[in-house]
Amino acid sequence: MDEMQLLGYGVTVVITLGAFIAVIQKFTQPINELKVVIQKLNDNIDSLKRDNDTQNKRIDKHGEEIDKLDNRVGKLETKMDMYHTGQ
């Protein structure tokens, strides 16, 4: 085996390994990008859950206030009916 043939084999090995590494990167790059996108989606879902919990607490508070107002209005209507029918 002469030096040129050995050099040719060496170049072929380097090119083959380079191509193999490039193919591996092409396969792993979309997977890594997908992982990043999934993490962003999980963060957004967590944020939506926190917002939903906050809104539910506020709605519950407003519901209690509405119930209290409804009770007060009911009492006032009863008193007004009593005043008007008592005449």
* pLDDT of 84 above 90: no
When mean pLDDT is compared over 1-10, 11-20, 70-79, the highest value belongs to 11-20
Which amino acid would we find at residue 2? Answer: D
Task: Give the angle 60-66-68 at the CA atoms, nearest 5°.
Answer: 105
46-73 tens-digit pLDDT = 999 999 999 999 999 999 999 999 888 8
> By C-alpha distance, which of 63, 64, 67, 87 is closest to 75?
67
pTM of the predicted structure, to 2 decimals? 0.56
Instruction: Give the confidence band of 80 by pLDDT, cuts at 50, 70, 90.
Output: confident
How many CA atoms does the CB half-sphere of 17 hold within 13 Å? 6
